[in-house]
Structure 1
Amino acid sequence: MVRASDWEDAETWAKVFPLADKFLTAIFFDQFAQVDAIWGNDFFSRLEPRPVFALVAPKRSGPARLEKPGRRLLQTSYALHHWARYRTWPAKPPRPGELADALGMRPEDASNLFDGTTKLSFQHFENRWGHFATHFGLKHGVTFPAPLAAVAIYWQNTLVSVTPEHKLRSFIILDSGYDQLWRWRRDGLAAQSTGTEPWASWMG
């Protein structure tokens, strides 16, 4: 976060530009943090409060590996249905084969969505959503999480850059600044959820 004192101490343009970049980045992510705090407070009221959009943000899984938003959206969706059916989380993130079964897709098609080779559109994801409920034997499926899906797909297209050959070029990950923005927005809510059900540790 940029403090007023930081601007006061910036005596040259060389010092102003990094602050301006940091300030504009905070404004950009604050839009998401506000929706995150309001929507997540209602949609996940039984679970421990947390920034839920972070569940679908780009995430490092090794020195040269990145879990992209599309993959994380699919895994989170699978986990939510597992929790709705059994009131427990999957012990580990679902792999492409498990997602293929749940979504009624060919394994190779699920793998391409999983690694980002095939772009996941909002319409495609919404059309496949009902397959999760069928797979888990849920009479009433989990309500479609439109904001979570929209943010994941938008971040896939804006926070992750790949070459035409689908090789990773660059990416942006959330840091503690996003948590601070979310807490600030949550603190401003008139009524805050008090859920106590824990999230799966692997969801990060």
Structure 2
Amino acid sequence: MGKPTEQGVAAMARMLEAMLLMPLHTLAQARKQAIPSLLHDITGLSKARISKGNRNALRPSTQAKVVQHMEALLQEHFEDDTEGLQNFRGWISAAPSTRSGALAPFASWVYQFEVLPPLRLPITKDVALTIDELLEALHTCCRNEDFQNFKSLLLAHVERHGRIVRSAELGTPDAMPEEELAALYVASNWEQAERWVRNLLEQLYWDLISTLDAEWSSHYFSGRKIKPLFPLVMVRPQEGLMESMKVTSRKNIYFKPVRRLLEFLYALAFYRRYRRWPSKAPKPATLAGILYRPGSDELADESLISNYFDGTTKVTLDLVQEHWQQLLQHFMQKRPENERPTAPFPMIMLALQWQALLVLDSGRSFFMPDMMNYGFVWRFRRRQWEALQAQYDSGFSSSGQRVDETMDWPEWAVDQSSSSV
């Protein structure tokens, strides 16, 4: 076996670190920040120090300053709300961790979605924690330059899980293809394993997303949905583009995630009011008659909404939340605020992240996941979710559908290649 090169180890470590930072990337995109800026705000560390990585190498005095900074942020946020602060600390103390005791980034990201509305996401957290522990173990091998153990961990993972993470001993339907396993078996150094690991990380990411789609949105829509939800805020290519690879019109070659998010939030608020979907997607002029300019009591103009649609003007999580409340006020003005539906937070955060991850080359190209596989995993996780419901009580928030009613999506939202799942 050839001796692994330092460059190969470093490249592999950077790839794993990028994956471990994905939950932070989601939050950073939602706040329209770079990760160093976000971590600077949270920890008080300088961006230069943050760029060095390895927080475990901080001196005790520096770690103490980080704790003091975060405590000051909490005190400022909760002010005189002592009970709220105690509840938040209790919630933080229960956040998922790996077997080593380290914070589990993906499982903790999923954990936050159990709050509003209150629900359980055991399948998604289980998948996420499996990913966290695998990434942590692989990254440790990189630090130790231990390629043999690195490869053994990968082989053990695929032997147990296959292409889809096994959750709660409920099995997995998709073994790793022999040709993919063969490529891992013959890898003898970091460089030879890099492409294989890159493909695995992509599979793990979309496995987690489709699992969250199946579990979280089944709760949010009372189990009445019959198709995946999250593809409705992915990139939507022009009809036929993915099949023919030919552009039929220079206009709207593809719709970006933020546009699709705003269209769907409008449709969802409309549905909650009228129990039917709008017959067509809202135009910028329609939304301009409902949404307000940021930080203003004046309605937005059509050009601002158009800038949201094409990505010229970036939006944040806070802004989307404001627009969601404005949509509810428009469609459900007479309903008390405490009876109005909560925003679909995972969908919002992912749309903001995908605006950066799936839109490439300054908007000139885009990335599409394998939607056939996405739908396959979604259906498998949905069956797992249904199997678990008999074990739980019915104390979940819902979107108000009758027990006997199903929910499909509006045709105008799913008639393009990105939603063919």
TM, length-normalised to structure 2: 0.43
Give runs of aligned pairs for residues 121-132 of structure 1, distance below 5 A.
121-132=316-327
Give runs of aligned pairs for residues 17-56 of structure 1, distance below 5 A.
20-45=197-222, 47-56=224-233
Give runs of aligned pairs for residues 158-169 of structure 1, distance below 5 A.
158-163=357-362, 168-169=363-364
Assess, with a 3 A threshold, how the Cα gap between structure 1 residues 108 and 198 changes in structure 2: closer, same or farther.
same
Give runs of aligned pairs for residues 45-84 of structure 1, distance below 5 A.
45=222, 47-62=224-239, 63=247, 65-84=253-272
Aligned length: 200
In the alignment, is the contact (CA less than 8 A) between 1:46 and 1:195 conserved in 2? Answer: no
Assess, with a 3 A threshold, how the Cα gap between structure 1 residues 61 and 188 changes in structure 2: closer, same or farther.
same
Who is 2:305 aligned against?
A: 110
In the alignment, is the contact (CA less than 8 A) between 1:49 and 1:194 conserved in 2? Answer: no
Bigger shift: 61-70 or 86-95?
Answer: 61-70
Find 2:285's aligned residue among 97, 112, 127: 97
Structure 1 residue 183 corresponds to structure 2 residue 379: yes
User: Which AA in structure 1 matches 2:367?
Assistant: I
Secondary structure, counterpart of 2:278 in structure 1: coil
Question: Partners in 1 of 2:225 and 2:262 — Cα distance?
Answer: 21
Question: Partners in 2 of 1:46 and 1:24 — Cα distance?
Answer: 29
Who is 1:5 aligned against?
A: 178
- Unmatched 5+ stretches in structure 2: 1-162, 164-174, 240-246, 293-299, 391-402, 415-421
In the alignment, is the contact (CA less than 8 A) between 1:45 and 1:195 conserved in 2? Answer: no
Assess, with a 3 A threshold, how the Cα gap between structure 1 residues 194 and 87 changes in structure 2: closer, same or farther.
closer
- Unmatched 5+ stretches in structure 1: none
Greater strand content: 1
Question: Partners in 2 of 1:68 and 1:134 — Cα distance?
Answer: 26
Secondary structure, counterpart of 2:364 in structure 1: strand
Shift of 1:9: 4.9
In the alignment, is the contact (CA less than 8 A) between 1:100 and 1:107 conserved in 2? Answer: yes
Who is 1:153 aligned against?
A: 352
Find 2:410's aligned residue among 190, 200, 203: 200
TM, length-normalised to structure 1: 0.85
User: Which AA in structure 1 matches 2:257?
Assistant: P
Q: Which of 1 and 2 has greater Rg?
A: 2
Assess, with a 3 A threshold, how the Cα gap between structure 1 residues 21 and 52 changes in structure 2: closer, same or farther.
same
In the alignment, is the contact (CA less than 8 A) between 1:58 and 1:69 conserved in 2? Answer: yes
RMSD: 2.6
Question: Partners in 2 of 1:46 and 1:7 — Cα distance?
Answer: 36
Bigger shift: 178-187 or 73-82?
Answer: 178-187
Question: Partners in 1 of 2:327 and 2:238 — Cα distance?
Answer: 25
Question: Partners in 2 of 1:21 and 1:171 — Cα distance?
Answer: 19
In the alignment, is the contact (CA less than 8 A) between 2:291 and 2:323 conserved in 1? Answer: yes
Assess, with a 3 A threshold, how the Cα gap between structure 1 residues 202 and 16 changes in structure 2: closer, same or farther.
farther
In the alignment, is the contact (CA less than 8 A) between 1:93 and 1:202 conserved in 2? Answer: yes
Secondary structure, counterpart of 2:319 in structure 1: helix
User: Which AA in structure 2 matches 1:37?
Assistant: A
User: Which AA in structure 2 matches 1:56?
Assistant: V
Which structure carries more relative contact order (alpha carbon 8 Å, separation 6+)?
A: 1
